[in-house]
Structure 1
């Protein structure tokens, strides 16, 4: 008899009214192996809106990518709950995101330990991390944007800047040129190609820059978060608050060149996928072409926030009515 079961993909999707973070949106392994995963019934969950009743013990859960590890005690508890309610949890390219006590974001340092020993396969995007967990680049390295060669690929600037769309202000002022991480991946990749070096505040912006052979420099304030300390290749840190091209170029000159990172990352990802495929076929069977993808928890989460918005509006209107009553 053919085995049955679902595959659940858990990664980060922003809440409503929040600018998109491209790195989080394109770091789900499902998108890069559609011929294989499309044979199974798959559900894509956001880490903050999981449909727990859909996850059965014999299903498969793929957790990652994005900075989901040690991001908060609440998120660690989510992963631990997944590890406890499902026997087949794969951690794929997730990264540490632990806030140090001196971080500028006012975030608390996570203290709830993750039960990594319960996972059946683990690969984290942090290179030579103190946890000694196996290194695995973010699956977004497989995106076609890094393979295509645009007709216009000439260098247009010494220093390009990639800003996080989630930040109201960038740590370095007066940058002469920039894109945000909410723009299409093709646009971001082309911008990186046309820059000699990249000044960037997001993890994925630095990662993608290195995939394309560009040296990455981050504001030194980013050292308050662990995820910026364990890139596969060294990055630079800039401690000024005002753009200084000469200083940035000087920092870049001390960063080693980045050889064949795209090829290496794709080879490691393909090897990990082979392990996952063999494991899933052993647990769930070979799959069939007539299964369909169900993207339902994101829709459920959007509905939830719509209800919250409606309730807040009702409370606001009720407050206005109460004020009018008092004025009578």
Structure 2
């Protein structure tokens, strides 16, 4: 298997499935799952990402790819981000406070979806899908979008999980409400791109570094915080522009080293 775009290629998780830059930009073809890092043949130009690949689960695979840097002409990280479990023992989650791993220094270009780090901000490339250009009628005040393995026991609201690969169904659902309550990274991200107000009940560190921050609160406190949630009308354009510029830099690098 020759790999050009390596990511968590998981069709049972809609966010993982739609975070590959090769789906939206003219890049060398060749999708591969990062979990297969030991047996992959690297293409001349390799893009790693997107997704929450800065995590203990993926460290061995990312380190392996960094160690194989000499096998490719270019090695780029695109829209990756942290994704660690957080400590809820004290009744509230704590954000990840570590620096990003040193293996990123082996990459020619690094773009991370987390805002405010030492690396360039390049949000999840799924923003490039033209599905976000449509208008979605609001027919309910609140909906709940939950991680398939972490249910959110919040009232009798319309709800959906991140299981499967149907981005259209998810975006239509998120667009149907004025306010989205979620514990899913991509649920918060996509709802923001749609101009919806977002409340996050955090289960992992990745929700703390959005460029367009949602309200973050404990499960039992969401009613107190929901009115603080705001929309970000410019979010879609800002996220797309960051990805377009990064693509230009990636394309220039690949052309120079071809």
Cα displacement (A) at 1:171: 2.9
Partner of 1:122, secondary structure, is strand
- The match for 1:65 is 50
* Structure 2 CA distance for aligned equivalents of residues 263 and 22 of structure 1: 22
Report the equivalent of 1:86: 69
The aligned runs of 1:93-172 (5 Å cut-off) are: 93-102=79-88, 113-129=101-117, 132-149=118-135, 153-165=136-148, 167=149, 170-172=151-153
Distance in 1 between residues matched to 2:33 and 2:100, nearest whole Å: 20
| Residue in structure 2 matching 1:263, options 230, 237, 240 | 237
Structure scoring higher RCO (CA < 8 A, sep ≥ 6) equals 1
Rg larger in 1 or in 2? 1
1:293 aligns to what?
none
Q: Does 1:24 align with 2:16?
A: yes
Q: How is 1:32-47 mapped onto 2 (pairs within 5 angstroms)?
A: 32-33=24-25, 36-37=26-27, 40=28, 42-47=29-34
Gaps of 5+ in 1: 1-5, 285-328
Partner of 1:236: 215
**In the alignment, is residue 281 of structure 1 matched against residue 255 of structure 2?**
yes
1:235 to 1:161, Cα distance in 2 relative to 1, 3 A: same
The answer (yes or no) to whether the contact 1:27–1:138 under 8 Å persists in 2 is yes
In structure 1, C-alpha distance between the alignment counterparts of 2:99 and 2:119, rounded to whole Å? 18
**Cα offset for 1:159?**
0.6
Kept in 1, the 8 Å contact 2:145–2:159? The answer is yes
TM-score by length of 1: 0.69
Q: Which residue of 2 aligns with 1:301?
A: none
Measure the CA separation in 2 of the matches of 1:65 and 1:20: 16
The structure with the greater share of residues assigned to helix is 1
CA distance in structure 2 between the partners assigned to 1:239 and 1:257 by the alignment: 20
Distance between the aligned counterparts of 1:99 and 1:155, measured in 2? 33
Cα gap change, 1:110/1:253 in structure 2, threshold over 3 Å: closer, same or farther? closer
Structure with more strand by fraction: 2
Q: How many residues align?
A: 248
Q: Are residue 8 (structure 1) and residue 4 (structure 2) matched?
A: yes
- Segments of 5+ residues of structure 2 without an aligned counterpart are none
The aligned counterpart of 2:41 is 54
Deviation readout 1:28-74 (Å, 9 max, x if unpaired) = 001102xx32xx4x321111113645126xx22211111000x11x5
